[in-house]
Amino acid sequence: METHTIFFVGKPGCGKGTQAKILSEKTGWPVISAGQQFRTLATEDTPVGRKVKLEHEVGLLQPHWLAMHLYLKALFALPADTNVIFDGFNRKVPEAELVIDSMQWLERSFSVIHLPISDDEVVRRIENRKQTAARPDDGVVPERLREYAIYTTPAIELFRKKGVLIEVDGEQTPEKIAEDIRKALGLT
């Protein structure tokens, strides 16, 4: 059986975390979340923790080298035949390049699931999220969208050129998105 390595990418509020969790529940594959790791770092009273917290609260993407340190640490700890879902470790071109290089080096096939949604949908979803599970960076949506346009859009194009990008309409119901993801991955 082929080993699956899945990466999620998309705008803030597109449902990356939700879909990673749903896929994990259906498959039993673990989810390794960049956002969760950064939020944990931000609680630490260390120079790194304070800097991560500051940048997170104003909506900036963390440095690519820090994201990749966390990614490589998690990746290298995996047994060779482990299926895994990575959420949010590919938001800048240097990160995308390292994902591609590391997957090739380890001879792991991989797919990048992109959940495109409009900016208006981002605002709507984050406003709804603020009612139940607000995060510190939810108040800086314009900055997060600007960061996405500058950094993540070119990374997505790199994955597209590599032939590993799977796009699933992120403006559907969570159930329909999950179904489309499983179909695209051949898991139905």
pLDDT exceeds 80 at position 3: no
Q: 66-116 pLDDT, tens per residue?
A: 989 999 999 999 998 899 999 988 889 999 999 999 999 999 999 999 999
**Residue 158 structure tokens:** 């790199």
| Residue 88, φ and ψ in degrees, nearest 5 | 90, 20
What does the alpha-carbon distance between residue 39 and residue 22 come to, in Å, rounded to a whole number? 21
Q: pTM score, two decimals?
A: 0.88
CA dihedral 34, 8, 162, 4 (to 10 degrees): 100
